[in-house]
Amino acid sequence: MFGKGIIKGFIETARNFAGSYHDPARMVTLQYPEEKRALPENSRNFPFLVFDGNDPIKGLRCVSCKICEKECPPQCIYIVNERDERGKPLKHPKIFDIDISVCMSCQICVEVCPFDSIKMDQAYELSATERFKKLILHKQDLAKSNDYYHRIHPTEADAVDAILEAERKQHEAKKSAASSETPPAKQ
């Protein structure tokens, strides 16, 4: 019969209309600022620095080796070593800046870091009105706890923790073996 397709169309839209009121599965709209979709575990955008313990600055895993700075393709990482009074470099950064307006989210810094101290973040509400002040993240903005890392990437964080734990044990075993063979030269 002619007109069958049109009638079918009308029934379909009527069902959509009625269904949208009682069938939540139909409604895919997420009212964004109020509701947020849980991000997939592997989603990532910009790097952050992991710290252990309670002090975000003292607990940083970063030893300021500058490998990430050298590897970063768009050169968005800037690191300055902390130095003691005699000018001897210490094993933590004085300045650690990432310009996220330049960062291209390639994750190479994460891959090259030997200390598992730089990881990818998921925070995406980063819009700012001033590029040069708000989009350059400093050490304080970048430092986030290991707990946070566990929250956003649970599987990856567990694996990292296991590796770090194994390394620590190996290190201790080596140390104790060394100390049992030869006494420490000086205290």
Partner 1 sequence: MINTGLAAIFLWAGLEQGLGKLLDHGLSLLPPAWRTWATIVVLVGVMLGVFASLFALSTLLERKGLGRMQNRLGPNRVGPYGLLQPVADGIKMLTKEDIVPRGADGVVHFLAPLVLFAPLTLSFAVLPYGRHWVPLNLDAGLLFFFAAGSASELAAFMAGWSSRNKYSMLGGMRAIAQMISFEMPLVVASLSVVMISGTMSLAAIVERQEAWLWIFPKWNVFTPWGLAGFGLFIVAAMAETNRSPFDLPEGESEIIGGFMTEYSGFKYAVFFMGEYFGMFAVSGLAVTLFLGGWNAPLSFLPASFLWFFAKLMALVLVFIWVRGTLPRVRVDQLMNLAWKYLFPMTLLNLFVAALWHYTAVWRAPGGLALRWVLCFAAIAVPCAVLARAMMRSHKWAPRVYRFGD
Q: Which residues bind partner 1 (CB under 8 A)?
A: 2-3, 6, 9-10, 12-14, 16-17, 19-21, 26-29, 31
Write down the least CB distance from residue 31 to partner 1, Å: 8
The strand pair at 143-145 and 89-99 is best described as unpaired
CB-based contact 80:93 (threshold 8 Å): yes
Q: Measured from the CB atom, is 13 or 43 closer to partner 1?
A: 13
Q: Measured from the CB atom, is 33 or 183 closer to partner 1?
A: 33
Q: Measured from the CB atom, is 12 or 111 closer to partner 1?
A: 12
Contacts of 87 (CB under 8 A, 6+ apart): none
* Residue 149 burial (C-beta neighbours within 10 Å; 0-12, 13-18, 19+): buried
Write down the least CB distance from residue 34 to partner 1, Å: 11
CA distance 111 to 113: 6
Listed residue (83, 110, 109) closest to 95, CA to CA: 83
Q: Measured from the CB atom, is 19 or 154 closer to partner 1?
A: 19
Write down the least CB distance from residue 1 to partner 1, Å: 8
Tokens of 37: 């979709």
Write down the least CB distance from residue 124 to partner 1, Å: 22
Q: Measured from the CB atom, is 5 or 114 closer to partner 1?
A: 5
CA distance 55 to 22: 50
What beta strand segments (E) does 26-160 contain? 47-51, 77-83, 89-99, 118-120, 136-137, 143-145
Write down the least CB distance from residue 21 to partner 1, Å: 7
